[in-house]
Amino acid sequence: MPELPEVETVVRTVAPKLVGGEIRDTRFFSTLVLRADASETAKRLRGRRIETVRRRGKFIILELSGGMHLAIHLGMTGKLLWNGTPGVHTRAVLELDRGTLLYDDIRQFGRIEVCEQVPERVARVGPDALLVSEEEFTHLLRRKRGRIKPLLLNQTVLGGLGNIYVDEALFRARVHPLTPVTRLGRERARRLYGAIQEVLRTAIDCGGSSISDYVDAEGRAGSFQHHHQVYAREGEPCLRCGTPIRRMVVAQRGTHYCPRCQRA
DNA sequence: TCAAATGTTTGATC
DNA sequence: GGATCAAACATTTG
């Protein structure tokens, strides 16, 4: 489910419910999604007030009273649900004074971490893809080598992009996924920056992409999947030139592109 | 039965 | 130090 637009949507829908609330109790039905043991995690959370809820890349950060931090990464199938109904995939429950927050995760690639400081893995996340300036973005590319798609997926380089939005942004910028960053040039780097901003902003306006079962904290699906131009469109005509969209594997991820609009 | 799925980490190799 | 690649994690779906 979750790349930057989906995580942003979750944060926006869950923040008004959580901020100001107090964590009364917690329940964990899986140790897999926890980085520390359940009783220690519970102890660190009980009685804390939630002061802020924010996003950093694909992480959701809850700042709690006493300087405690709760970091949630949704992995591939994680969901936060406000006052939802617990089911077989419910891995954690936070009971607040004003309602209940469920963490559901089918595949359990997501992680919940509670510590005094912002966790190191969160601190390592690069500039946020939505907030980065054009200057910062092009400067960042100039210092790197390698192919553009793996680079954009690297969260320490740029925070928030995932497989869907990288493919969509590269298509809109007419950049081939295997293009060496060193050969991008000023013009295409600028185009890529613009495409990333446009795709992310439009996707957030749509409440994200619901490609399997993604929903926000209130159970609402997103609609950006209807605006996908290449992702999961293998064999279908390119919306710009009519050439069938191709799929290949790059960085071990399914990669969708138009062989005509995005020349190698 | 096999492949693929919105992600990250780890270890091997160049 | 980096970049690349494969494998692993766990579950569902086609």
Task: Give the mean pLDDT of A105-134.
Answer: 96
pLDDT of residue A214: 85
Q: Give yes or no for CB of A211 within 7 Å of strand B.
A: yes
Give the pLDDT band (50/70/90) at residue A197.
Answer: very high
In this complex, which protein residues place their C-beta within 7 A of any atom belonging to strand C?
A 32, 76, 88-89, 106-109, 144-147, 150-151, 251-252
pTM of the shown model: 0.96
Nearest residue to nucleotide C7 when comparing alpha carbons to its C1'?
Answer: A252
For residue A122, give Cα distances in angstroms to A20, A100, A260.
23, 25, 38
Mean pLDDT of chain A: 96
User: What's residue A155's pLDDT?
Assistant: 96
Give A119 CA → B8 C1' in Å. Answer: 15
Answer yes or no: A3 catalytic.
yes
What per-residue confidence (pLDDT) applies to A211?
Answer: 83
Q: pLDDT tens-digit profile of A4-13?
A: 999 999 999 9
The Cα–Cα gap between A70 and A64 comes to: 7
Which residues numbered 73-112 in chain A sit less than 7 A from strand B, measured from CB? 73, 75-77, 107, 109
Which bases on strand B have an atom closer than 7 Å to a protein beta carbon? 4-9
Residue identified by tokens 């923040």 is: A15
Confidence band, pLDDT 50/70/90 cuts, at residue A264: confident
Residues A2, A5, A119, A177: which is the catalytic one?
Answer: A2
* pLDDT tens digit sequence for A22-41: 999 999 999 999 999 999 99
SS3 content of chain A, % helix, strand, coil (to 5): 30, 25, 45
Q: A17, A48, A55, A58: which is the annotated catalytic residue?
A: A58
Long-range Cβ contacts of A132-139 (<8 Å, 24+ apart) = A132/A158, A134/A190, A134/A193, A137/A189, A137/A193, A137/A196, A138/A186, A138/A189, A138/A190, A138/A193
Give the least confident one: A63-67, A175-179, A196-200, A209-213: A209-213
Judged against a pLDDT cut of 70, whether residue A243 lies above it is answered with yes
- Tell me what pLDDT residue A1 has: 61
Active-site annotation holds for A2? yes
To which residue do tokens 């009364």 refer? A24
Model pLDDT for residues A114-126, shown as the tens digit of each residue: 999 999 999 999 9
Distance in Å from B2's C1' to A76's CA comes to 21
Q: At a CB cut-off of 8 Å and minimum separation 6, what does A40 contact?
A: none
